[in-house]
Structure 1
Amino acid sequence: MTPPKNEMCATWIATVKNVDMKLGMNGAQYTAWVQKTLDKLKANKFNAVIYQVKPTNDALYPSKLAPWSSYITGGKQRKSPSYDPLLIMINEAHKRGMKLHAWVNPYRVTMPGKTLASLAPSNVVRTNPGWVVKYGKQYYLNPGLPEVRNFLLATVKELVAKYDIDAVHMDDYFYPYKIKNETFPDQAAFKKYGSTFKKIADWRRDNVNQLVKKVYSSIKTTKPHVQFGISPFGVWRNQWILLAAVRELV
Structure 2
Amino acid sequence: MPRPPVRLVLIVCAVLLAVAVLGLGLVRAATYEEPRTAPIAGQAAVPARGTVGRCGQVPARATRELRGMWLTTVTNIDWPSRPGLPEDRVKAEYLRWLDLAVAQRHNAIFVHVRPSGDAFWPSDHAPWSEWLTGRRDARSPGWDPMAFMVAEAHARNLEFHAWFNPYRGSQPGPSGPGADFAKLAPNHPLLKHRDWAIAYPDGARARLYFDPGNPAARRFVEDAMLEAVEKYDVDGVHFDDFFYPYPEGGGNEFRDDASFARRADKAQSRAQWRRQNVNTLVREMSERIKQLKPWVKFGISPFGIWRNRATDPAGSDSRGLESYDAIYADTRTWVRQGWLDYVVPQLYWAIGFDKADYAKVLPWWSALVKGTKVQLYIGQGDYRIGEKGAWSEPDQLDRQLALNDRYGVQGSVHFSAKQIRADRLGAVTRYRTRHYAAPALVPTMDRLPADPPSAPRTTAARRTGAAVTVEWQAGAGPKAASWALYRVDGAAANLVATGRAGSRVVDPAPPPAGATYCLSGLDRSGNEGALSNPVSVSP
TM-score range with shorter-chain normalisation? over 0.9
Matched position secondary structure for 2:168: coil
- Which amino acid letter does the alignment assign opposite residue 75 of structure 2? K
Cα distance between partner residues in 1 of 2:292 and 2:216: 20
Which of 87, 104, 119 is residue 59 of structure 1 equivalent to? 119
Does the aligned pair in 2 maintain the 1:132–1:140 contact within 8 Å? yes
* Equivalence for 1:12: 70
Q: Is 1:105 aligned with 2:179?
A: no
* Equivalence for 1:193: 263
Does the aligned pair in 2 maintain the 1:59–1:69 contact within 8 Å? yes
Coordinate RMSD, CA, aligned = 2.2
Query: CA 1:35–1:140 in structure 2 vs 1: closer, same or farther (change >3 Å)?
Result: same
Q: Is 1:150 aligned with 2:253?
A: no
Q: Is 1:211 aligned with 2:281?
A: yes
Query: CA 1:240–1:201 in structure 2 vs 1: closer, same or farther (change >3 Å)?
Result: closer
Structure 2: runs of 5 or more not aligned? 1-49, 53-61, 306-317, 324-344, 348-377, 380-410, 412-444, 448-539
| Number of equivalent positions | 249
Q: Following superposition of structure 1 onto structure 2, how do residues 156-175 of structure 1 map, counting pairs within 5 Å?
A: 156-175=225-244
Greater percentage in helix: 1
* Equivalence for 1:129: 194
- Which amino acid letter does the alignment assign opposite residue 166 of structure 1? D
Query: CA 1:40–1:212 in structure 2 vs 1: closer, same or farther (change >3 Å)?
Result: same
Matched position secondary structure for 1:109: strand
Cα distance between partner residues in 2 of 1:152 and 1:229: 17
Cα distance between partner residues in 1 of 2:267 and 2:188: 32
Q: Deviations over 1:79-132 (max 9, x none)?
A: 311111111111110000101000000111222442222211211101100000
Does the aligned pair in 1 maintain the 2:171–2:207 contact within 8 Å? yes
* Equivalence for 2:86: 26
**How far apart are residue 174 of structure 1 and its match?**
2.2
Cα distance between partner residues in 1 of 2:86 and 2:319: 47
Structure 1: runs of 5 or more not aligned? none
Cα distance between partner residues in 2 of 1:156 and 1:109: 13
Matched position secondary structure for 1:232: coil
TM-score (norm 1): 0.92
Q: Deviations over 1:25-73 (max 9, x none)?
A: 2222222222222112201111111000001111000011111111111
**How far apart are residue 2 of structure 1 and its match?**
7.3
- Which amino acid letter does the alignment assign opposite residue 186 of structure 1? D
Query: CA 1:147–1:111 in structure 2 vs 1: closer, same or farther (change >3 Å)?
Result: same
**How far apart are residue 231 of structure 1 and its match?**
1.2
- Worse overlay, 187-196 or 49-58: 187-196
Q: Is 1:237 aligned with 2:319?
A: yes
**How far apart are residue 198 of structure 1 and its match?**
2.6
Q: Is 1:80 aligned with 2:140?
A: yes
Query: CA 1:11–1:47 in structure 2 vs 1: closer, same or farther (change >3 Å)?
Result: same
Report the identity percentage: 38
- Which amino acid letter does the alignment assign opposite residue 90 of structure 1? V
Which of 153, 156, 160 is residue 96 of structure 1 equivalent to? 156
Query: CA 1:2–1:210 in structure 2 vs 1: closer, same or farther (change >3 Å)?
Result: farther
Q: Choose 1 or 2 for highest CA Rg.
A: 2
Does the aligned pair in 1 maintain the 2:66–2:107 contact within 8 Å? yes
Q: Is 1:37 aligned with 2:97?
A: yes
Cα distance between partner residues in 2 of 1:40 and 1:188: 48
Cα distance between partner residues in 1 of 2:275 and 2:268: 13
Cα distance between partner residues in 1 of 2:228 and 2:146: 10
**How far apart are residue 173 of structure 1 and its match?**
4.4
- Which amino acid letter does the alignment assign opposite residue 71 of structure 1? W
**How far apart are residue 240 of structure 1 and its match?**
9.2
Query: CA 1:231–1:196 in structure 2 vs 1: closer, same or farther (change >3 Å)?
Result: farther
Does the aligned pair in 2 maintain the 1:69–1:77 contact within 8 Å? no
**How far apart are residue 239 of structure 1 and its match?**
5.3
Q: Deviations over 1:163-222 (max 9, x none)?
A: 000001012342101122222111111111102543000000000000000001110000
Does the aligned pair in 1 maintain the 2:68–2:101 contact within 8 Å? no
Matched position secondary structure for 2:112: strand
Q: Deviations over 1:6-33 (max 9, x none)?
A: 2111001111111111222222222222
Does the aligned pair in 1 maintain the 2:238–2:298 contact within 8 Å? yes
Cα distance between partner residues in 1 of 2:119 and 2:267: 35
